[in-house]
Structure 1
Amino acid sequence: MRVRTRWWPPAVSAAACAAVCAVLLTGCQSAPGEGSEGAGRLDDRAATVSPAPVRTYGYGAVFLAVDECSSFGRTSFTEVSCDGERAAARVVARHDGTARDGPPCPATTDFVLHISEQRPSADEDGDGAVPRGYACMRHLQPPHPGDPGGGGGPRTVVGDCVYGLGDGKVRETACDGSGGHRPEFEVTKAVDARSKCPASTALYVRLGGTTPVGCARPV
């Protein structure tokens, strides 16, 4: 199946009759969530469905299950064998529902694919049904934007760098300056309250999770 998307924010489609989706530039990352304290990130891309009369699923019984792989290009990707030369990214976690409401992806996820529910009327035994969900993806080869300092991924983690957007908002960028924006702050610690940040902290960045406060220092 083929699924098409657009970039910033992308849209991902998953049809029941084939295994196809879409990825974003530099790892399908969305801009970090923005708030007065800075921003952690959760990919908020919308999903749409575009059926295609091919096969019911890819190389596993579940569309893009954990450890399955995808190829990808600028506008679309396809589920492929992980042993094939087209394999480019692997599923490291897979959840039903939406990324906004479900469990967060692992910290080093490079990008998130959102999958729309598809239940074709012509499918008699249910094999072609694809539930709404999301797949946390990791590139098979570097670069890994989800790594600390990589400048991307769906989450901001310790070791990541950010730059100011104004009005107290920040966005992640590569710590080595390769992301097109000079890094201004680096997240050095994650804590559950601002009072636990070290004295050198110059910026608080919202991370989410059990330690939602990122303590950032100038770089």
Structure 2
Amino acid sequence: MRGRRSMGAGWRAGGVGCALPVLLAALLALTGCRRAPGPAGAGPGERPTAAAASTLPSGYGAVFLGVGECSSFGTTSFTEVPCSGERAAARVIARHEGTPGDGPACPPATDFVLHISAQRPVSDSDGDGDGDGDGDGAIGQGYACMRNLEPPHPGDPGGGGGPRTVVGDCVYGAGRGEVRETACDGTGKRRPEYKVTRAVRSRDQCPSSTALYVQLGGGEPVGCARKL
């Protein structure tokens, strides 16, 4: 469940276009797939496509989009804003350097992920002649795990979105031995067909009622799903 475009030093909210690999209890082969997170603001049950956005650092906080700080939300740009302001839309619940594929996974409650590309100041603001500013306005490549300040929360169990599949989420068959998340309450564009009821270390630990095995990742990488 997870191309990337970059607009200079911009951020972008990654789109979710790849389905989770699964294995039906009857011999469906698992296929590898990386899940890309989607931005907030999508309706329940469907994850939006990738959106490019420019970065507009506002100076709030010592670290750009540090844990506990907030961002505005839009289709073309995101800015760091005061959490008490009317423009605040989502809060950073975890912040990591590098890329999601190489770094720690976002917390299960994450609604969407902002990918932050590296940015260096245009001028040598610290005056040492090396042109890098030595951190003055510099932003390193990283990603911020975001939680919407108000519902909907697609990252919640059954919400139909978020960068991770967790116990309580529902999925539907997407073909080629793959599934995708959708809202358990039926408000998504696709009807839920299976619900993940347990996370275990290996398939043999799933209950006999399991109709589908879903790859979750982490210490308990197998999701046991029952048919709805």
Q: TM-score band (shorter)? A: 0.7 to 0.9
Amino acid at match of 2:121: P
Q: How many residue pairs are counted as aligned between the two chains?
A: 201
Aligned to 2:120: 119
Aligned to 2:148: 139
What are the within-5 Å matches in structure 2 for residues 1-219 of structure 1?
A: 11=5, 15=9, 21-23=11-13, 30-37=16-23, 42-43=35-36, 57-125=58-126, 126-219=135-228
Query: Are the structure 2 counterparts of residues 41 and 194 from structure 1 closer, same or farther at C-alpha, using a change threshold of 3 Å?
Result: same
5+ residue gaps in structure 1?
1-7
- Please identify the structure whose Cα radius of gyration is greater: 2
Aligned to 1:4: none
Q: Distance in 2 between matches of 1:72 and 1:49?
A: 10
Amino acid at match of 1:134: Y
Query: Are the structure 2 counterparts of residues 209 and 21 from structure 1 closer, same or farther at C-alpha, using a change threshold of 3 Å?
Result: same
Higher mean C-alpha displacement, 162-171 vs 67-76 = 67-76
What is the CA distance between 1:32 and its match in structure 2?
4.8
Higher mean C-alpha displacement, 139-148 vs 125-134 = 125-134
Secondary structure of the residue aligned to 2:204 is: helix
Secondary structure of the residue aligned to 2:146 is: strand
CA contact (8 A) 1:114 1:134 kept: yes
CA contact (8 A) 1:192 1:213 kept: yes
What is the CA distance between 1:73 and its match in structure 2?
1.6
% identical equivalent positions: 63
Aligned residues: CA RMSD? 2.8
Aligned to 1:3: none
5+ residue gaps in structure 2?
24-29, 39-49, 127-134
Aligned to 2:44: none
1:122-147 Cα deviation digits (max 9, x unpaired): 14332111000000000000010000
Report the TM-score when normalising by structure 1. Answer: 0.81
Secondary structure of the residue aligned to 1:183 is: coil
CA contact (8 A) 1:72 1:88 kept: yes
What is the CA distance between 1:41 and its match in structure 2?
6.0
CA contact (8 A) 2:53 2:78 kept: no
What is the CA distance between 1:34 and its match in structure 2?
3.5
Higher mean C-alpha displacement, 33-42 vs 90-99 = 33-42
1:98-123 Cα deviation digits (max 9, x unpaired): 10110000001000000111123414
